[in-house]
Amino acid sequence: MSASGIRDYLDGPHKQARDVVRAGLAANAELFEFAVRQPRAEYRESVLEMLRAITAEGHPARGFPKEYGGGGDLGGFIAGFETLAFGDLSLMVKAGVQFGLFAGAILHLGTERHHEEYLADAISGRLLGCFAMTETGHGSNVQALGTTATYDVATGEFVVHTPDAAARKDYIGNAAQHGRLAAVFAQLVVGGERHGVHCLLVPIRDESGEALPGVTLSDCGPKLGLNGVDNGRIVFDQVRVPRSALLDRYAQVDAEGNYFSAIENPDRRFFTMLGTLVQGRVSVGGAAINASKVALAIAIKYGAERRQFGAPGSAEETVLLDYRMHQRRLLPLLARTYAMHFAQGALVDEFVRVSADRSSEHDQRALEAQAAGTKALGTWHATETIQMCREACGGAGYLAENRLATLKADTDVFTTFEGDNTVLLQLVAKGLLTDYRESFGKLDPLGTARFIAAQAVEVAVEKAALRPLIERLRDAVPNRNDAADPDAGLRDDAYHSGLLRFREQHMLSGVARRLKAGIDAGDDAFDVFNRCQDHVIAAGRAHVDRVVLEAFQAAVESAPEEIQQVLKDVYDLHALATIEGERAWYLEHGRLSPGRSKAITALVNELCAVVRPVAVELVDAFGVPGAAVEVPMVVRSQHE
């Protein structure tokens, strides 16, 4: 077993893309000092400078079409972006805004003339831009945006306007200082008729950085973290842009004010447009998982050296990581980080596949759900892991110089941006309940409660399925009779899958049944949905838990022989810690006996001890650049 063997396997097909970014980060060690040592204004400028430096290294171009200077390698682009999360996270987020969101909107929502005019400059960082979607009063509910873009047939222009305070664009990266052009999401009004949310390119600053007439820009001010990103607010007062400013891939307006779209249903059109932006969600989940790796690398290296208290009669104090409680706090999170890494890899593969072949709307919707679920679990995982690492490093973990503080502050908003996690898990559950056939599904989870209920029941009936399926699973899963030998089969992959699949299916069918019963009883659809909301979200989560688990299983199976055993140990720790975390549910549903439930807890403890001796190798295998990990407390602990 060697760390480099595991590292190669973790890096997978996009190893080269990752290594380019790693080398860039390693060559700029001062990068890791920005957040700590610089006042906000300078920090922003340093981040901008680094942003331009990475364009020179070619990272962002990798994901764009070759005709605009790109490399046409979507998978490598995302892997490289994720790797940026080993460095300063403001740089990562600013790169996400510029290349993923701003350039991505032009690429996916625009047509050739937009590509010709803007893409090369956006990719090279010469033209800095904003992705102006969120408004002060409208966060998750994007369809309710208030900004309007009204076509004036007399001049052939769109008039972009902020009608009230709630419609102010808010939290927009690059808006406070650097952005010159904004991709603005607004309600399109043509000939007095509203056509829903569309995207237009609106210049907001001149070359000297001054706001253009009619545009009011302000700064969101200090944030908990990510202070190297200039988030700001934008208010439009009747700002005129030419008709060509509309990103018109999915809808066009001609000079006479006729509106055309190949997608007739407005909801479907909206979700088709949004769907092209799934890349942002895919990327943020991966970045969060990588930020967890940095925190674990720091905390585990520190815990493997730092001594505190001693065994009786021993002159030396005991290494922290030899304490059971310390293992319990860190090692299941390390195992879950491996699980999330492989789940993210599978998601990126699927994203590349679906992007290349846009034929199936079903697959596109399923991909969006997979991205939403991985983003939600990956970002919550980051919040939990970094918090635990901070606590496990005590007072030293609180000092900025040791990086955990910065990681914590910077990543905290990941659970919110690119989609609030609870809303995303609702989306996941909804997709499963309707088998993605509501292809133009509203983001609004309530407005369609009735539809979901009907669809869910139909899906359930059609699959013939739910009850027999559950029965089949029941057979596959050792049950109450496990009392005879509570340890039997606990490390069996099929057993783990069986339990997680049973839970997922049981929860989904339960939700479907409750929704249908409520609707059949004539209750208000909102109330019906709201009564089940916690259940819906739990069902979404149960699904993603299962997908993550099975991605890890597949990765163990295809691993090179020399690292297979160590990965299997880590996998088992992840699987059993996951089941342990939900053991109340399994006990309630007769899927675990009390004896077996306790045996699982005991085995998690044992597996922590099994993984402990290779814990440092396991974090080394993440390939986090040295400068990110060699913080003062780690260096000191290694020399004491």
List binders of a copy of itself among 155-194 (CB under 8 A). Answer: 165-166, 170-171
402 contacts 396 by C-beta, under 8 angstroms: yes
Q: Where in 428-447 is the site for a copy of itself (CB under 8 A)?
A: 444-447
Sheet order of strands, 232-236 included: 169-172, 232-236, 215-219
Q: Supply the DSSP symbol for 178.
A: T
Stretch of 208-216, 448-456, 459-467, 623-631 lying at the interface with a copy of itself (CB under 8 A): 448-456
Q: Does residue number 411 form part of the binding site for a copy of itself (CB under 8 A)?
A: no
Select from 245-253, 398-406, 468-476, 501-509 the region that touches a copy of itself (CB under 8 A).
398-406
Total residues at interface with a copy of itself (CB under 8 A):
86
User: Shortest gap between Cβ of 158 and a copy of itself (angstroms)?
Assistant: 27
Using the minimum distance from each CB to a copy of itself, give the nearer residue, 61 or 172: 172
Q: Is 482 in the site for a copy of itself (CB under 8 A)?
A: no
Of residues 417, 436, 502, 552, which one binds a copy of itself by CB under 8 A? Answer: 417
Using CB under 8 A as the binding rule, whether residue 13 contacts a copy of itself is answered as no
> Restricting to residues 220-239, which ones interact with a copy of itself according to CB under 8 A?
220-225
517: contact with a copy of itself by CB under 8 A: no
CB-based contacts of 479, cutoff 8 Å, min separation 6? 590, 591, 593
Q: Note whether 178 and 52 are within 8 A (CB).
A: no
Minimum CB distance to a copy of itself smaller for 314 or for 359: 314
Among candidates 367, 354, 369, which has minimal Cα distance to 433? 369
Beta carbon nearer to a copy of itself, 72 or 394: 394
| Residue selected from 256, 395, 484, 558 as contacting a copy of itself according to rule CB under 8 A | 395
Q: Which is nearer to a copy of itself, 229 or 367 (CB)?
A: 229
Closer CB to a copy of itself, 501 or 612, in the complex: 612
Closest distance between a copy of itself and the C-beta of residue 298, in Å?
14
Between 263 and 399, CB nearer to a copy of itself: 399
Which of 207, 256, 264, 588 touches a copy of itself by CB under 8 A? 588
**Under rule CB under 8 A, which residues in 190-219 are in contact with a copy of itself?**
none
Q: What is the DSSP string of 504-529?
A: HHHHHHHHHHHHHHHHHTT--HHHHH
- Is 454 an interacting residue with respect to a copy of itself (CB under 8 A)? no
Cβ nearer to a copy of itself, comparing 115 with 306: 306
44 binds a copy of itself (CB under 8 A): no
601, with CB counted inside 10 A (0-12, 13-18, 19+), is middle
Tell me: does residue 409 bind a copy of itself (CB under 8 A): yes
When asked if residue 318 is in the footprint of a copy of itself (CB under 8 A), the reply is: yes
Which residue matches tokens 């699973």? Answer: 473
Q: What are phi and psi of 310, to 5 degrees?
A: -135, 160
C-alpha 64/C-alpha 199 separation (Å) is 20
> What residues between 600 and 639 interact with a copy of itself by CB under 8 A?
605, 636
- For 606-609, the CB contacts below 8 A with 24+ separation are 607/331, 607/569, 607/572, 607/573, 607/576, 608/324, 608/327, 608/328, 608/331, 608/332, 608/573, 609/324, 609/327
Check binding of 144 to a copy of itself (CB under 8 A). Answer: yes
Site string for a copy of itself, 518-547 (x = CB under 8 A): ------xxx---xx-xx--x----------
Contact call for residue 481 and a copy of itself (CB under 8 A) = no
> What gap in Å lies between CA 385 and CA 288, rounded to an integer?
10
Report the site for a copy of itself in 323-342 (rule: CB under 8 A).
323-325, 328
Helices 493-520 and 525-557, packing angle to 10 deg: 170
Asked if 488 touches a copy of itself (CB under 8 A), the answer is no
Q: Among residues 129 and 445, whose Cβ is nearest to a copy of itself?
A: 445
Q: Does 412 bind a copy of itself (CB under 8 A)?
A: yes
- Give the DSSP per-residue string, 100-154: IIIHHHHHHHS-HHHIIIIIHHHHHTSS-EEEE--BTTBSS-GGG---EEEEETT
The region of 148-156, 279-287, 320-328, 331-339 touching a copy of itself under the rule CB under 8 A is 320-328
At 365, give phi and psi (nearest 5°). -65, -40
Distance between terminal CA atoms of the chain? Answer: 28
**Beta carbon of residue 525, minimum distance to a copy of itself (angstroms, whole number):** 5
Please state the closest distance from residue 174 (CB atom) to a copy of itself, in A.
15
Query: Does 319 help bind a copy of itself (rule: CB under 8 A)?
Result: no
Contact stretch for a copy of itself (CB under 8 A) within 51-59, 206-214, 315-323, 559-567? 315-323
Contacts with a copy of itself in 81-140 (CB under 8 A)?
Answer: 134, 136-140
Q: What is the DSSP letter of 256?
A: T
Are 190 and 152 in contact by the 8 Å Cβ rule? The answer is no
- Residues 238-297 touching a copy of itself, rule: CB under 8 A, are none
* CB neighbour list of residue 134: distance below 8 Å, 6 or more residues apart: 169, 170, 171, 172
H or E stretch covering 197: strand 193-203
Binding window for a copy of itself (CB under 8 A); candidates: 109-117, 151-159, 307-315, 346-354: 307-315
Give long-range contacts, CB 8 A cutoff, 24+ apart: 62-67: 62/17, 63/99, 64/103, 64/107, 64/119, 64/123, 65/107, 65/115, 65/119, 67/115
Q: Decide: 114 and 247 in contact? Cβ < 8 Å.
A: yes
Q: With respect to a copy of itself, which residue has the nearer C-beta, 336 or 583?
A: 583
Beta partners for residue 181, in sequence order: 129, 203
